[in-house]
A and B are shown apart, each in its own frame.
Chain A
Amino acid sequence: GQNIDQPTEMTATEGAIVQINCTYQTSGFNGLFWYQQHAGEAPTFLSYNVLDGLEEKGRFSSFLSRSKGYSYLLLKELQMKDSASYLCAVNTGFQKLVFGTGTRLLVSP
């Protein structure tokens, strides 16, 4: 079976740092995606990790540990516009993605 777990909701303050965790158990693994989705909009790509370690891209970083079935998305210097849902998705092959239910992040002033 396929199982991807993320916290349902998180809150943080503008300017702070937040870490969104994702654990997975899937029948195949070819990489892990993080997508951002604002309410009523389509998902937009944030990061893709294939190998273990940290990938940094501006204010956003993503970490992967394949042996632990674990990833996190780190958002620094939070801004109000970062209020959105963050979706963790595993590539199980041919870019067939299995998504978690998403973590809704609320950023307050």
Chain B
Amino acid sequence: NAGVTQTPKFRILKIGQSMTLQCAQDMNHNYMYWYRQDPGMGLKLIYYSVGAGITDKGEVPNGYNVSRSTTEDFPLRLELAAPSQTSVYFCASRSRDRDSYEQYFGPGTRLTVT
């Protein structure tokens, strides 16, 4: 049981490039989330999904897109990367059971845009 996995661990992008951050979970969780964490700051929600085919915006969605074609995968797409998107990106998942409220986080992707 790998939990939540993210790839890549590190990436450097040039301004204007695009990339996809991968996230997968093997716990059959319905809810999945993407956060970004800037240095010395808390996490901010980018997008979330309550199940396959359903996604919605969080606090800071501009410049990002997501899709959820399967329960396991929740990729985050950056189009036209900007320096302001330099951050650490965390993916998380949670079961939809009412008694199971913990969000499980992946190890993160450290992205630098120069």
Contacts and interface: CB of A to CB of B under 8 A. Distances in A.
Given A48-B101, A48-B102, A41 B107 contact: yes
Q: Which of A33, A87, A91, A98 has the most CB of B within 10 A?
A: A98
Nearest to B106: A42
A54 interface: no
Contact of A96 (B40, B48, B101, B105): B48
B44 A101 contact: no
Interface residues of A, number: 22
A95 B94 contact: yes
Interface residues of B, number: 23
A28 interface: no
Contact of A94 (B35, B41, B50, B102): B50
Interface of B: 31, 33, 35, 40-45, 48, 50, 58-59, 90, 94, 101-108
Given A42-B106, A97-B43, 10 more contacts: A2-B59, A4-B42, A42-B107, A43-B43, A45-B104, A87-B43, A89-B43, A98-B45, A98-B59, A101-B40
Interface of A: 2, 4, 31, 33, 41-45, 48, 87, 89, 91, 94-102
